[in-house]
């Protein structure tokens, strides 16, 4: 197994998910995010989330902006160029742009626009050609305290879905509502995270994740045994909680 984050001229990270599985997870996650947004009460939208400076409404603005980003090549280029002009870390500039551009929308307008764009976002991601999926992003991406190269396919097939999923968990935590979790969707996504985490730290261990989306994993022979809630495990790896030892190794969402 490989140890640590890849940097510099290392091989860019690609998605480990079969393309058909990635497409299915993407479409289902858009549906689940929409269901969460539709179910929010009036006072939920102003509740703070785990992302500094974002309440639920701001987070929904980002989710909408990222769906629009995926739905249209023209919108992809517009947002990408605007984020580059803003300077700083590109992904931070992009998400800030998305939040700012949708700040004027009412909750009802956010929900309606997300409902309209989500199917197009899933379709747009499915249609990204293989040649582009294999290409390396122009900039290395931050993961914990390091940066590493990614392929476009890793973003399209893995990160875009993880981002939606984690923010769905964020909204559930912010509003005190239990998230919908199933083995055939969330369990597949979390298993992919667990395997990537194991590849990043490169150490033998046993991992038991509790809950409807959990499971048991063995990576190598020997090593420590870890038992956690499945969603809590992902939140720690995403930097939303303190992780010690192997749990200090972050995985991008």
213-246: per-residue pLDDT in tens? Answer: 999 999 999 899 999 999 999 999 999 988 899 9
- 28 in any annotated domain: yes
Which residues face 205 on adjacent strands?
Answer: 219
Could you tell me where the DSSP H helices lie in the chain?
19-39, 56-71, 73-86, 90-101, 107-126, 130-133, 152-154, 160-175, 188-201, 230-237
pLDDT digits (tens, 9 = 90+) for 155-167: 999 999 999 999 9
C-alpha 173 chain-centroid distance: 16
**Are both 195 and 172 inside the same structural domain?**
no
**Are both 142 and 24 inside the same structural domain?**
yes
What residues contact 81, with CB distance under 8 A and at least 6 apart? none
Domain of residue 238, residue span: 184-248
User: d(Cα 180, Cα 185) in Å, to the nearest integer?
Assistant: 10
pLDDT digits (tens, 9 = 90+) for 62-105: 999 999 999 999 999 999 999 999 988 889 999 999 999 999 99
Among candidate residues 180, 200, 218, the one where a domain is terminated: 180
Which residues face 146 on adjacent strands?
Answer: 143
**Are both 151 and 220 inside the same structural domain?**
no
**Are both 168 and 98 inside the same structural domain?**
yes
Domain total of the chain:
2
């Amino acid at each position: 197994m490989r140890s640590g984050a890849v940097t510099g001229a290392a091989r860019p990270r690609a998605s480990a998910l079969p393309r058909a599985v990635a497409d299915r997870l993407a479409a289902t996650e858009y549906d689940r995010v929409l269901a969460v947004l539709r179910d929010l009460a009036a006072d939920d939208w102003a509740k703070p989330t785990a992302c500094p400076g974002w309440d639920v409404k701001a987070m929904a603005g980002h989710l909408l902006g990222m769906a629009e980003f995926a739905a249209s090549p023209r919108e992809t280029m517009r947002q990408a160029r605007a984020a580059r002009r803003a300077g700083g870390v590109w992904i931070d500039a992009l998400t800030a742009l998305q939040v700012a551009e949708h700040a004027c929308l009412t909750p009802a307008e956010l929900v309606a626009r997300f409902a309209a764009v989500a199917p197009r976002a899933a379709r747009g991601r499915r249609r990204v050609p293989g040649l582009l999926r294999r290409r390396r992003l122009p900039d290395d991406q931050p993961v914990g305290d390091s940066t590493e190269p990614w392929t476009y396919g890793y973003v399209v097939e893995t990160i875009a879905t993880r981002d939606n999923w984690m923010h769905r968990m964020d909204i559930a935590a912010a509003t005190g509502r239990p998230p919908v979790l199933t083995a055939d969707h969330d369990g597949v996504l979390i298993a992919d995270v667990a395997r990537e985490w194991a590849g990043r730290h490169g150490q033998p261990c046993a991992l038991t994740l509790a809950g409807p989306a959990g499971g048991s994993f063995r990576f190598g022979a020997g090593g420590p045994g870890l038992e956690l809630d499945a969603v809590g495990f992902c939140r720690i790896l995403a930097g939303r909680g303190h992780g010690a030892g192997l749990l200090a190794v972050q995985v991008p969402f």
